[in-house]
Amino acid sequence: MSTICTEMNNMVSEYLRTGTYPLAIKIFKKGEEIPSEIRAKSPIKDFGHRLAICQGITMARKLGTVMKYTMEDQSCPLAQFILGFTEEADIIKDGSIVYPLYTGSMEAGKVTQETTPRMPKADTGTIVIAPLHRATFEPDVILIYGNGAQIVRMVQGAIYKDGGYVESKFSGRGCCGGEITIPYSEQKCNVIIPGGGERVFGLTSDDEIAFAVPSSKFKSFMEGVIETHKVGAARIPTPIGGLSTEPTWPHAYKKIYDYYTSKK
């Protein structure tokens, strides 16, 4: 387990308390050798068929399985070019993969397709996904799923050093682009609302949101989550003011209270 994975895993466990394992993701280029210490399951070899990348993400974060994907292992046609396994096919550039599923016209579908995240170069060879506590490599991206309150804490941690906002884009599709491609290629933290495909095939719950952190932000992100926790205004579990506030009781209860206190 790498030092950064240990530190991040400890931070998530103590300060965020997520319901599933945080993930380390590594992108190996075409022709790049995968270290022998990385022991991972491959969809075709170990399951006998291809799987979508979102299925592997769920296996890793819910079951603790280390997964690795080549282009041949990865079954989602959209993810093939989003993740940089291959170039975008000419036959879908006109928006026909979007319309009529997600837009009301082919023109709108073309616009959506053109703005779909994709790697700058189609040179991805293998993607390895591992729970942080099982990662034997230095990750390119760390992906954490949580509820709304936990994601807010991650946003606060992400902007602690430099301020500003975490700016994310959503289209309800191709969410692996927001989870892997954008943080990797743009080196920015990203909030992802899982789309339809991930919910259908990856079984992501309706109340789950994802947060992606690129390698250049690992240290500042951890520092931000910890320091904003120390201040005390924002924490997990969320501080509840009502627990330390004197209750206001119905009039009938107050009469009983006054009765008891008068007997002292």
The residue among 236, 140, 206, 147 whose CA lies nearest residue 179 is 140
Give me 160's structure tokens: 């602690």
Biggest alpha carbon–alpha carbon distance for the chain: 87
The answer to whether residue 139 scores a pLDDT higher than 70 is: yes
pLDDT over 90 percentage in the chain: 86
Is the bond leading into 117 cis (omega within 30 degrees of zero)? no
The residue among 64, 59, 68, 79 whose CA lies nearest residue 37 is 68
The answer to whether residue 173 scores a pLDDT higher than 80 is: yes
For residues 117 and 31, what is the distance between their CA atoms, to the nearest angstrom?
24
Residue 242 confidence class, pLDDT cut points 50, 70, 90: confident
pTM, rounded to two decimals:
0.93
The answer to whether residue 264 scores a pLDDT higher than 80 is: no
